[in-house]
Copies of this chain bind each other. A is one copy, B any other.
Amino acid sequence: MAKIHELDTPVVLIDIDRVEVNLKRAQDYADANGVKLRPHIKTHKLPQFAKRQMELGAIGITCQKIGEAEVMVDAGLRDILLPYNFLGEPKLKRLLALAKRAALKVTADSITTIDGYSRTFSESGITLPVLVECDTGGARAGVQTPEEALALARYINASDGLRFAGLMTYPAKGATAQANAWLARATVLLREAGLAPEIVSTGGTPDLWHSGENGAATEYRPGTYIYLDRFQVHEGVGGFEDCALSVLATVVSRPTNTRAILDAGSKTLTSDTLGLQGFGRIVEYPDAVIASLSEEHGTVDLTRSTAKPRVGDMVRIIPNHACPVSNLFDEVTLVRGDDVVGTVPVAARGKVA
Protein backbone atom coordinates (compact mmCIF):
# COMPACT_ATOMS: atom_id res chain seq x y z
CA MET A 1 0.00 0.00 0.00
CA ALA A 2 1.37 3.40 -0.97
CA LYS A 3 2.14 6.00 1.71
CA ILE A 4 1.15 9.64 1.41
CA HIS A 5 4.77 10.81 1.30
CA GLU A 6 5.14 8.94 -2.00
CA LEU A 7 2.46 11.08 -3.68
CA ASP A 8 3.06 13.80 -6.25
CA THR A 9 2.12 17.22 -4.85
CA PRO A 10 0.00 19.24 -4.49
CA VAL A 11 -2.72 16.72 -3.81
CA VAL A 12 -5.94 16.75 -1.79
CA LEU A 13 -6.07 14.13 0.96
CA ILE A 14 -9.39 12.99 2.42
CA ASP A 15 -9.11 11.12 5.72
CA ILE A 16 -11.96 8.65 5.38
CA ASP A 17 -12.10 7.74 9.06
CA ARG A 18 -12.57 11.38 9.99
CA VAL A 19 -15.25 11.73 7.31
CA GLU A 20 -17.15 8.85 8.88
CA VAL A 21 -16.82 10.30 12.38
CA ASN A 22 -17.93 13.76 11.22
CA LEU A 23 -20.95 12.42 9.34
CA LYS A 24 -22.04 10.15 12.19
CA ARG A 25 -21.61 12.81 14.86
CA ALA A 26 -23.86 15.20 12.93
CA GLN A 27 -26.48 12.58 12.16
CA ASP A 28 -26.52 11.44 15.79
CA TYR A 29 -27.04 15.04 16.91
CA ALA A 30 -29.80 15.48 14.33
CA ASP A 31 -31.53 12.27 15.38
CA ALA A 32 -31.33 13.20 19.06
CA ASN A 33 -32.73 16.68 18.38
CA GLY A 34 -35.41 15.91 15.84
CA VAL A 35 -33.57 17.65 12.98
CA LYS A 36 -33.87 16.35 9.42
CA LEU A 37 -30.56 16.66 7.58
CA ARG A 38 -30.39 17.37 3.86
CA PRO A 39 -26.62 17.70 3.37
CA HIS A 40 -25.25 20.09 0.78
CA ILE A 41 -22.93 18.17 -1.55
CA LYS A 42 -21.00 21.29 -2.65
CA THR A 43 -18.30 20.52 -0.11
CA HIS A 44 -17.34 17.04 -1.34
CA LYS A 45 -18.96 16.79 -4.80
CA LEU A 46 -18.61 13.00 -4.55
CA PRO A 47 -21.52 10.61 -5.14
CA GLN A 48 -20.07 8.03 -2.75
CA PHE A 49 -20.18 10.45 0.18
CA ALA A 50 -23.69 11.62 -0.77
CA LYS A 51 -24.80 8.00 -0.65
CA ARG A 52 -23.13 7.52 2.72
CA GLN A 53 -24.93 10.60 4.05
CA MET A 54 -28.21 9.02 2.93
CA GLU A 55 -27.36 5.64 4.48
CA LEU A 56 -26.69 7.33 7.80
CA GLY A 57 -30.10 8.96 7.81
CA ALA A 58 -30.18 12.09 5.63
CA ILE A 59 -33.63 12.68 4.10
CA GLY A 60 -32.17 13.82 0.77
CA ILE A 61 -29.38 16.00 -0.54
CA THR A 62 -28.89 19.60 -1.60
CA CYS A 63 -27.16 20.68 -4.82
CA GLN A 64 -26.63 24.28 -5.87
CA LYS A 65 -26.46 23.76 -9.62
CA ILE A 66 -28.32 21.55 -12.07
CA GLY A 67 -24.99 20.18 -13.29
CA GLU A 68 -24.25 18.92 -9.79
CA ALA A 69 -27.70 17.37 -9.50
CA GLU A 70 -27.28 15.65 -12.88
CA VAL A 71 -24.15 13.93 -11.57
CA MET A 72 -25.91 12.88 -8.37
CA VAL A 73 -28.97 11.53 -10.18
CA ASP A 74 -26.68 9.61 -12.53
CA ALA A 75 -25.18 8.05 -9.40
CA GLY A 76 -28.56 7.00 -8.03
CA LEU A 77 -29.53 9.86 -5.69
CA ARG A 78 -33.24 10.57 -6.01
CA ASP A 79 -34.36 13.37 -3.63
CA ILE A 80 -32.67 16.70 -4.29
CA LEU A 81 -33.33 20.26 -3.18
CA LEU A 82 -31.87 22.90 -5.52
CA PRO A 83 -32.01 26.16 -3.53
CA TYR A 84 -31.57 28.45 -6.52
CA ASN A 85 -33.51 30.66 -8.95
CA PHE A 86 -33.14 28.94 -12.31
CA LEU A 87 -33.65 31.10 -15.38
CA GLY A 88 -33.11 30.82 -19.11
CA GLU A 89 -34.39 28.26 -21.59
CA PRO A 90 -31.29 26.00 -21.70
CA LYS A 91 -31.31 25.59 -17.92
CA LEU A 92 -35.06 25.11 -17.65
CA LYS A 93 -34.92 22.38 -20.29
CA ARG A 94 -32.25 20.58 -18.27
CA LEU A 95 -34.31 21.01 -15.12
CA LEU A 96 -37.35 19.40 -16.76
CA ALA A 97 -35.30 16.52 -18.14
CA LEU A 98 -33.83 15.87 -14.69
CA ALA A 99 -37.22 16.18 -12.95
CA LYS A 100 -38.34 13.17 -14.99
CA ARG A 101 -35.66 11.10 -13.27
CA ALA A 102 -35.70 12.31 -9.65
CA ALA A 103 -37.75 14.16 -7.04
CA LEU A 104 -36.46 17.72 -7.39
CA LYS A 105 -37.45 20.78 -5.39
CA VAL A 106 -36.38 24.27 -6.46
CA THR A 107 -36.69 27.79 -5.08
CA ALA A 108 -37.79 31.17 -6.41
CA ASP A 109 -37.87 34.72 -5.14
CA SER A 110 -39.53 36.45 -8.10
CA ILE A 111 -42.47 36.17 -10.43
CA THR A 112 -40.11 36.01 -13.38
CA THR A 113 -38.50 32.86 -12.00
CA ILE A 114 -41.87 31.29 -11.16
CA ASP A 115 -43.23 32.08 -14.64
CA GLY A 116 -40.23 30.28 -16.17
CA TYR A 117 -40.87 27.19 -14.05
CA SER A 118 -44.55 27.22 -14.91
CA ARG A 119 -43.96 27.65 -18.65
CA THR A 120 -41.54 24.70 -18.49
CA PHE A 121 -43.62 22.31 -16.38
CA SER A 122 -47.23 23.23 -17.24
CA GLU A 123 -47.60 20.57 -19.93
CA SER A 124 -45.05 18.07 -18.63
CA GLY A 125 -47.32 16.02 -16.40
CA ILE A 126 -44.94 16.79 -13.53
CA THR A 127 -45.81 19.14 -10.68
CA LEU A 128 -42.65 20.93 -9.58
CA PRO A 129 -42.41 21.74 -5.86
CA VAL A 130 -41.21 25.34 -5.43
CA LEU A 131 -39.98 26.86 -2.16
CA VAL A 132 -39.84 30.61 -1.67
CA GLU A 133 -36.34 31.88 -0.94
CA CYS A 134 -36.29 34.27 2.02
CA ASP A 135 -33.66 36.90 2.81
CA THR A 136 -33.68 36.62 6.59
CA GLY A 137 -30.63 38.86 6.99
CA GLY A 138 -28.00 37.28 4.73
CA ALA A 139 -28.43 40.05 2.14
CA ARG A 140 -28.13 37.69 -0.80
CA ALA A 141 -31.18 36.50 -2.80
CA GLY A 142 -34.65 36.12 -1.31
CA VAL A 143 -37.85 38.02 -0.63
CA GLN A 144 -37.50 40.79 1.92
CA THR A 145 -40.62 40.26 4.04
CA PRO A 146 -42.92 37.44 5.17
CA GLU A 147 -45.72 39.25 3.33
CA GLU A 148 -43.81 38.90 0.05
CA ALA A 149 -43.24 35.23 0.84
CA LEU A 150 -47.00 34.76 1.21
CA ALA A 151 -47.68 36.60 -2.05
CA LEU A 152 -45.24 34.40 -3.95
CA ALA A 153 -46.61 31.24 -2.30
CA ARG A 154 -50.05 32.17 -3.62
CA TYR A 155 -48.60 32.95 -7.04
CA ILE A 156 -46.85 29.57 -7.16
CA ASN A 157 -50.02 27.69 -6.29
CA ALA A 158 -51.91 29.65 -8.95
CA SER A 159 -49.32 28.70 -11.60
CA ASP A 160 -49.79 25.64 -13.81
CA GLY A 161 -47.36 22.81 -13.18
CA LEU A 162 -46.17 24.14 -9.81
CA ARG A 163 -46.88 23.55 -6.14
CA PHE A 164 -45.86 25.75 -3.18
CA ALA A 165 -43.64 23.53 -1.03
CA GLY A 166 -42.25 25.79 1.66
CA LEU A 167 -39.56 28.30 2.60
CA MET A 168 -35.79 28.33 2.23
CA THR A 169 -33.16 30.63 3.69
CA TYR A 170 -29.43 30.84 4.11
CA PRO A 171 -29.15 32.63 7.45
CA ALA A 172 -26.66 35.42 8.01
CA LYS A 173 -23.62 34.40 10.04
CA GLY A 174 -24.40 34.68 13.73
CA ALA A 175 -28.01 35.66 13.05
CA THR A 176 -29.76 32.33 13.38
CA ALA A 177 -32.21 33.66 15.97
CA GLN A 178 -33.15 36.50 13.63
CA ALA A 179 -33.63 34.01 10.77
CA ASN A 180 -35.78 31.76 12.94
CA ALA A 181 -37.98 34.67 14.00
CA TRP A 182 -38.43 35.66 10.34
CA LEU A 183 -39.36 32.11 9.33
CA ALA A 184 -41.72 31.75 12.29
CA ARG A 185 -43.57 34.95 11.31
CA ALA A 186 -43.82 33.81 7.70
CA THR A 187 -45.06 30.38 8.78
CA VAL A 188 -47.87 31.92 10.82
CA LEU A 189 -48.91 34.12 7.87
CA LEU A 190 -48.89 31.16 5.50
CA ARG A 191 -50.82 28.92 7.89
CA GLU A 192 -53.48 31.59 8.35
CA ALA A 193 -53.81 31.69 4.56
CA GLY A 194 -54.20 27.92 4.40
CA LEU A 195 -50.72 27.51 2.91
CA ALA A 196 -48.83 25.84 5.75
CA PRO A 197 -45.29 25.22 4.50
CA GLU A 198 -44.40 21.56 4.12
CA ILE A 199 -40.67 22.32 4.20
CA VAL A 200 -38.82 25.11 6.00
CA SER A 201 -35.18 24.73 5.06
CA THR A 202 -32.26 26.48 6.70
CA GLY A 203 -28.66 25.56 7.06
CA GLY A 204 -24.99 26.17 7.40
CA THR A 205 -22.34 24.15 9.22
CA PRO A 206 -21.37 27.03 11.58
CA ASP A 207 -24.71 26.71 13.41
CA LEU A 208 -25.10 22.94 13.01
CA TRP A 209 -24.82 22.22 16.73
CA HIS A 210 -27.65 24.67 17.41
CA SER A 211 -29.95 23.43 14.63
CA GLY A 212 -32.09 21.64 17.22
CA GLU A 213 -33.15 25.07 18.45
CA ASN A 214 -34.50 26.20 15.06
CA GLY A 215 -38.18 26.19 15.98
CA ALA A 216 -39.62 27.06 12.59
CA ALA A 217 -37.26 24.99 10.45
CA THR A 218 -38.07 21.44 9.35
CA GLU A 219 -34.85 20.69 7.45
CA TYR A 220 -31.20 21.63 7.81
CA ARG A 221 -28.59 21.86 5.00
CA PRO A 222 -25.05 21.57 6.37
CA GLY A 223 -22.24 21.25 3.83
CA THR A 224 -18.77 21.69 5.28
CA TYR A 225 -19.40 19.49 8.34
CA ILE A 226 -18.17 16.46 6.39
CA TYR A 227 -14.62 17.85 6.09
CA LEU A 228 -14.49 20.97 8.28
CA ASP A 229 -11.78 23.53 7.53
CA ARG A 230 -9.83 26.34 9.13
CA PHE A 231 -12.85 28.66 9.07
CA GLN A 232 -15.12 26.12 10.80
CA VAL A 233 -12.45 25.54 13.45
CA HIS A 234 -12.30 29.30 13.92
CA GLU A 235 -16.08 29.27 14.34
CA GLY A 236 -15.78 26.58 17.01
CA VAL A 237 -17.53 23.81 15.07
CA GLY A 238 -14.64 21.41 15.70
CA GLY A 239 -10.89 21.21 16.18
CA PHE A 240 -8.10 20.86 13.64
CA GLU A 241 -7.98 17.17 14.56
CA ASP A 242 -11.50 16.86 13.12
CA CYS A 243 -10.56 18.27 9.70
CA ALA A 244 -10.82 15.51 7.10
CA LEU A 245 -9.57 17.43 4.05
CA SER A 246 -5.98 18.60 3.79
CA VAL A 247 -3.67 19.61 0.97
CA LEU A 248 -0.31 17.85 0.82
CA ALA A 249 2.28 20.28 -0.56
CA THR A 250 6.05 20.43 -0.99
CA VAL A 251 8.43 23.15 0.14
CA VAL A 252 10.01 24.09 -3.18
CA SER A 253 12.15 27.01 -2.04
CA ARG A 254 13.62 28.52 1.12
CA PRO A 255 14.95 31.79 -0.28
CA THR A 256 15.54 33.39 3.13
CA ASN A 257 15.66 32.32 6.75
CA THR A 258 12.09 33.51 7.31
CA ARG A 259 10.49 32.62 3.97
CA ALA A 260 9.38 29.31 2.52
CA ILE A 261 7.65 28.75 -0.80
CA LEU A 262 5.09 25.96 -1.23
CA ASP A 263 3.90 24.38 -4.47
CA ALA A 264 0.35 25.25 -3.40
CA GLY A 265 -0.95 28.64 -4.49
CA SER A 266 -4.38 30.04 -5.30
CA LYS A 267 -4.87 27.32 -7.94
CA THR A 268 -4.79 24.84 -5.04
CA LEU A 269 -5.92 26.67 -1.90
CA THR A 270 -8.11 29.36 -3.55
CA SER A 271 -7.94 33.05 -2.61
CA ASP A 272 -10.80 32.66 -0.11
CA THR A 273 -9.79 34.05 3.25
CA LEU A 274 -13.31 34.00 4.78
CA GLY A 275 -12.03 36.89 6.85
CA LEU A 276 -9.11 34.96 8.36
CA GLN A 277 -5.47 36.03 8.33
CA GLY A 278 -3.44 33.80 6.03
CA PHE A 279 -4.53 31.17 3.54
CA GLY A 280 -4.52 28.00 5.60
CA ARG A 281 -2.91 26.27 8.55
CA ILE A 282 0.26 24.24 8.08
CA VAL A 283 -0.22 21.26 10.38
CA GLU A 284 3.49 20.65 11.01
CA TYR A 285 4.30 24.37 11.44
CA PRO A 286 1.27 25.92 13.17
CA ASP A 287 3.16 29.16 13.87
CA ALA A 288 4.03 29.66 10.20
CA VAL A 289 1.73 31.98 8.22
CA ILE A 290 0.75 31.37 4.60
CA ALA A 291 1.02 35.09 3.98
CA SER A 292 0.27 35.36 0.26
CA LEU A 293 -0.59 33.27 -2.75
CA SER A 294 0.06 33.57 -6.43
CA GLU A 295 -1.40 30.95 -8.72
CA GLU A 296 1.28 28.29 -8.21
CA HIS A 297 3.22 29.57 -5.19
CA GLY A 298 2.32 29.88 -1.54
CA THR A 299 4.58 32.29 0.33
CA VAL A 300 5.07 31.32 3.96
CA ASP A 301 6.29 33.70 6.65
CA LEU A 302 8.38 31.71 9.14
CA THR A 303 9.17 34.66 11.39
CA ARG A 304 7.20 33.30 14.34
CA SER A 305 8.01 29.63 13.66
CA THR A 306 11.07 28.36 15.48
CA ALA A 307 10.92 25.13 13.47
CA LYS A 308 11.75 25.75 9.82
CA PRO A 309 11.03 23.34 6.97
CA ARG A 310 13.71 22.43 4.44
CA VAL A 311 13.49 22.40 0.66
CA GLY A 312 11.83 19.15 -0.36
CA ASP A 313 9.89 18.68 2.88
CA MET A 314 6.22 17.86 2.57
CA VAL A 315 3.61 19.63 4.67
CA ARG A 316 -0.13 19.25 5.17
CA ILE A 317 -2.34 22.31 4.97
CA ILE A 318 -5.87 22.75 6.35
CA PRO A 319 -7.36 25.25 3.90
CA ASN A 320 -9.50 28.18 5.02
CA HIS A 321 -12.44 26.89 2.99
CA ALA A 322 -12.72 23.25 1.94
CA CYS A 323 -15.52 23.58 -0.65
CA PRO A 324 -13.73 25.58 -3.37
CA VAL A 325 -10.63 23.39 -2.93
CA SER A 326 -12.73 20.33 -3.88
CA ASN A 327 -13.81 22.29 -6.94
CA LEU A 328 -10.23 22.81 -8.13
CA PHE A 329 -9.15 19.18 -8.22
CA ASP A 330 -10.12 16.56 -10.79
CA GLU A 331 -9.56 13.89 -8.17
CA VAL A 332 -8.94 13.50 -4.46
CA THR A 333 -6.88 10.87 -2.67
CA LEU A 334 -8.53 8.89 0.11
CA VAL A 335 -6.24 8.13 3.03
CA ARG A 336 -6.34 6.35 6.36
CA GLY A 337 -3.59 7.69 8.58
CA ASP A 338 -0.49 7.68 6.37
CA ASP A 339 -1.83 5.01 4.01
CA VAL A 340 -3.21 5.83 0.59
CA VAL A 341 -6.50 3.97 0.21
CA GLY A 342 -7.50 5.12 -3.28
CA THR A 343 -8.25 7.94 -5.66
CA VAL A 344 -11.71 9.21 -6.56
CA PRO A 345 -12.72 11.57 -9.39
CA VAL A 346 -14.53 14.65 -8.08
CA ALA A 347 -17.52 13.86 -10.25
CA ALA A 348 -19.50 17.04 -9.59
CA ARG A 349 -16.48 19.37 -9.86
CA GLY A 350 -16.69 22.38 -12.15
CA LYS A 351 -20.46 22.16 -12.67
CA VAL A 352 -20.92 25.89 -12.89
CA ALA A 353 -24.30 25.84 -14.64
Contact of A8 among B85, B88, B250, B263 (CB under 8 A): B88
A263 neighbours in B (Cβ, 8 Å) = 84, 87, 353
Residue contact B141 to A84, C-beta cutoff 8 Å: no
Known: A261-B140, A295-B42. A353 touches B11 (CB 8 A): yes
A295 neighbours in B (Cβ, 8 Å) = 42, 64, 323-324, 327
Contact of A64 among B273, B296, B324 (CB under 8 A): B296
Residue contact B352 to A329, C-beta cutoff 8 Å: yes
The yes or no answer to A253 lying at the interface (CB within 8 A) is yes
User: Within residues 97 to 149 of chain A, which ones have a CB less than 8 A from any CB in chain B?
Assistant: 109-110, 112-113, 116, 133, 135, 139-144
User: Within residues 145 to 185 of chain A, which ones have a CB less than 8 A from any CB in chain B?
Assistant: none
Q: How far is the CB of A293 from chain B (nearest CB, A)?
A: 9
Residue contact A140 to B294, C-beta cutoff 8 Å: yes
Residue contact A270 to B268, C-beta cutoff 8 Å: no
Known: A85-B252, A255-B141, A296-B65. A352 touches B324 (CB 8 A): no
Question: Copies of this chain, how many?
Answer: 2
A24 neighbours in B (Cβ, 8 Å) = none
Complex CA distance for A144 and B253, rounded to whole angstroms? 12
Residue contact B255 to A87, C-beta cutoff 8 Å: no
**Would you give 12 A-B contacts (Cβ < 8 Å), ordered by A?**
A7-B90, A10-B353, A64-B295, A87-B311, A116-B312, A133-B253, A135-B255, A140-B255, A141-B261, A142-B255, A144-B255, A267-B324
Complex CA distance for A342 and B311, rounded to whole angstroms? 45
Q: How far is the CB of A120 from chain B (nearest CB, A)?
A: 13
Residue contact B253 to A109, C-beta cutoff 8 Å: yes
Residue contact A297 to B252, C-beta cutoff 8 Å: no
Given contacts A110-B253, A110-B254, A267-B352, 20 further A-B contacts (CB under 8 A): A8-B90, A9-B353, A10-B353, A42-B295, A64-B296, A65-B296, A87-B252, A88-B314, A109-B253, A110-B311, A112-B310, A133-B253, A135-B255, A140-B261, A141-B253, A142-B255, A266-B272, A266-B324, A328-B350, A329-B350
Complex CA distance for A143 and B256, rounded to whole angstroms? 9
Q: How far is the CB of A279 from chain B (nearest CB, A)?
A: 10
The yes or no answer to A6 lying at the interface (CB within 8 A) is yes
Residue contact A353 to B112, C-beta cutoff 8 Å: no
A310 neighbours in B (Cβ, 8 Å) = 112
Closest to A254 in B: B110
Complex CA distance for A116 and B310, rounded to whole angstroms? 14
A350 neighbours in B (Cβ, 8 Å) = 328-330
The yes or no answer to A299 lying at the interface (CB within 8 A) is yes
The yes or no answer to A27 lying at the interface (CB within 8 A) is no
- The 0/1 profile, CB within 8 Å of B marked 1, for residues 268-280 of chain A is 1011110000000
Residue contact A252 to B90, C-beta cutoff 8 Å: no
Residue contact B141 to A88, C-beta cutoff 8 Å: no
The yes or no answer to A52 lying at the interface (CB within 8 A) is no
The yes or no answer to A3 lying at the interface (CB within 8 A) is no
The yes or no answer to A91 lying at the interface (CB within 8 A) is yes
The yes or no answer to A259 lying at the interface (CB within 8 A) is yes
